[in-house]
Amino acid sequence: MPGDLAIDVDDLRMRYGSTDVLHGVSFRAEPGEVLALLGPNGAGKTTTVEILEGFRLRSAGRVAVLGADPATAGEDWRARVGVVLQSWRDHGKWRVRELLAQMAAYYPGPWDPDALMAAVGLTDRKVRTLSGGQRRRLDVAIGIVGRPDVLFLDEPTTGFDPEARRDFHDLVRGLAAEHGTTILLTTHDLDEAERLAGRILVLDGGRIVGDGTAAELSRRIAGRDEVRWSLRGERFARPTEEPARLVHDLYRDHGDALRDLEVRRASLEDTYLALVHKAEGRAA
């Protein structure tokens, strides 16, 4: 397996009884890359991530994370992998710093607990007194306390207010850019995926139906941009691959007679829905 890949998945398959959940999933991730795994409920996202985390045994296919098979990797490998689950339980009587210090003791080069609390926007208080959003920040802190080389984030900003969400996005970008952390996140927030991820993977029906940047997928799947305008009371719309040139030409030809000019770019939501509908049409 290539040693410079952080994640290498080839023809991954999963079957529960007579039901196939994953049908030959394949993708790769470079060190420092941020990937978003999108898909409707039941698409196979959780199963895929749990196999990569080493929490579930696959039925077939080849998987390597940091050059090792998660199904057989040891404690040294586990120390290099961070996981942020949707929720987990701990003792409410712990204080935040105390808990982070305890977790840090298991890793060779962890974050300093005080620096980590500052990074995720927490103060030292009892865990049971934390709000839902603060509890989620603690989940993230526990997932990154060991400075992982690969980090799995499952719906990481659930319960975050807008300011906390922005701060978390900055933290994720810093982990990837400054520390070379490879990050795979699952989210239903398409805006978050577009802001954070360099690449988008769309999983539906147990298959990867889209793989690329948001812009690449939009161009390939959702079609061209569209310029809309009004002229002498009549409404016009034209698809184009060069919206700036079209706008320039319209002003050159019509000047101040133009009204209600707008450029509509294909969004990640448009792309995502087009991919899912196309995949569901094939499966029907």
Pick from 55-64, 175-184, 220-229 the range whose average pLDDT is largest: 55-64
254 assigned to some structural domain: yes
Which three-class secondary structure state does DSSP give residue 3?
coil
The range of the structural domain enclosing residue 239 comes to: 222-283
Q: What is the mean pLDDT of residues 129-141?
A: 84
242 assigned to some structural domain: yes
Task: Give how many domains the chain has, as a whole number.
Answer: 1
273 assigned to some structural domain: yes
The residue whose two tokens read 């147990």 is 206
250 assigned to some structural domain: yes
248 assigned to some structural domain: yes
Residue 187, pLDDT above cutoff 90: no
pLDDT band at 175 (very low <50, low <70, confident <90, very high): confident
Where is pLDDT greater, at 4 or 35? 35
Closest to 127 measured CA to CA, from 111, 169, 117: 117
Where is pLDDT greater, at 208 or 266? 208
Query: Can you give 10-52 as a three-state secondary structure string?
Result: EEEEEEECCEEEEEEEEEEECCCCEEEEECCCCCCHHHHHHHH
pLDDT of residue 90: 63
Q: What value does the mean pLDDT of the chain take?
A: 86
The residue whose two tokens read 């196979």 is 44
Q: How far apart are CA 268 and CA 215, in angstroms?
A: 8
148 assigned to some structural domain: no
pLDDT of residue 168: 80
pLDDT band at 284 (very low <50, low <70, confident <90, very high): very low
Check if the beta carbon of residue 105 is closer than 8 Å to that of residue 79: no
Residue 160, pLDDT above cutoff 80: no
Which three-class secondary structure state does DSSP give residue 189?
coil
177 assigned to some structural domain: no
Segment 211-253, tens digit of pLDDT: 988 877 776 665 567 889 999 989 999 888 788 898 999 999 9
Residue 81, pLDDT above cutoff 90: yes
pLDDT of residue 279: 63
Query: Can you give 59-78 as a three-state secondary structure string?
Result: CEEEEEECCECCCCCCHHHH
Count of beta carbons in the 10 Å neighbourhood of residue 56? 15
For residue 198, what are its two tokens? 């360099």
Segment 23-57, tens digit of pLDDT: 999 999 999 999 999 988 888 999 999 999 999 99
Which three-class secondary structure state does DSSP give residue 247?
helix
